Amino acid sequence: MAYSRSLSWSSDGGLAEIRDINGQLVAPQALNTIWWRRVMIAPDFDEGVDASARLLIPAECRAAMAGMMFVDFQGRWVNDPAAEVRADNKLVQLSAAIKAGLTVPNTLVSADPNQIRHFVEQAGGQAIVKVVRGTSEFSIPTRRVTADDLVDDTALEACPAIYQELIDGETHLRVHVFGRQTVAIQIESSHLDWRPDLQVPMRQVGLPDALSASFIALVQDLGLAMGIIDAKISQNGKIVFLEINPQGQFLFMEGLTGEPLSLYMAAFLTATEYL
């Protein structure tokens, strides 16, 4: 983490100077790999600094540091920031998953009330709704949607949402892709979203080679080096891709299952080539 006063760059050909929280010089051009995750700069503000400045200063610091890295860093990104912005879009994810040969739920992204009602009707009333992007200010969980939820045109027209067929079943997969390595955790939960209740059976499972190759192809097609994939096994045994988080959390899964995901990640980050 850098302080604002420790960031310097010049257009005259001088290299960027960034100092870490301990005051040590970090030269971007000397780095081999950057794990670009949750870049945060939190200056120590005096009491007299107003609210607008408290928002502006960290944003300016992040932009300056990112620019220095983009210009001077020549190593491997985990993940490339531009690719990650694109890959974080759920429409892009679904399209890439189809291209990689994965099964995805029937999906509609729309703010058209008639199309939405028709889609849910065609799904036999077995559908879910989730946000396209969401906001960092609060969380909106994925939930089931029925015809009773679709009577207010004004609400439906307010903004697009993602509507998908409900994938029946209680077996979920969390697939960690580190370069060319995949590590899958199987989760047994009756909840639509298993994450609020972690006191459920979880274990590491192997994936068929073809499926593992498809997950890796998805990550590569998105221009990513790593990604954490959520999937579900339907009642007829089909594995269905749901979404990918380019910088998904995995340490909590290590604690719950004992699978050494941090070691896999460390080996991936320090490898001379992607594993």
How much is the pTM? 0.90
List of the chain residues with pLDDT < 70: 1-5, 41-42, 273-275
The predicted-structure confidence for 20-39, as pLDDT tens digits, reads as follows 778 888 889 889 999 999 87
Contacts of 172 (CB under 8 A, 6+ apart): 186, 187, 188, 189, 194, 230, 231, 232, 233
Contacts of 35 (CB under 8 A, 6+ apart): 78, 269
pLDDT for position 62: 87
Cα–Cα distance list, 126 to 53, 76, 117, 122, 163 (Å): 48, 43, 12, 9, 10
DSSP SS3 for 244: strand
3-state helix, strand, coil in the chain (%, to 5): 35, 25, 40
Residue 96 near residue 218 (C-beta atoms within 8 A): yes
Residue 110 near residue 116 (C-beta atoms within 8 A): yes
85-103+169-270: CATH topology is: D-amino Acid Aminotransferase; Chain A, domain 1 (3.30.470)
Taking phi over 0 as left and psi of -120 to 50 as alpha, with beta for the rest, 21 belongs to: alpha
d(C-alpha 155, C-alpha 174), whole Å: 33
d(C-alpha 116, C-alpha 89), whole Å: 20
d(C-alpha 81, C-alpha 121), whole Å: 39
pLDDT for position 219: 98
Second CATH level (architecture) for the domain 107-165: 2-Layer Sandwich (3.30)
Question: Based on the number of CB atoms within 10 Å of its own CB, is 109 exposed (0-12), middle (13-18) or buried (19 or more)?
Answer: middle
CA 134 to chain centre: 12
pLDDT for position 1: 46
**Extents of the domains making up the chain:** 4-74, 85-103+169-270, 107-165
pLDDT for position 137: 82
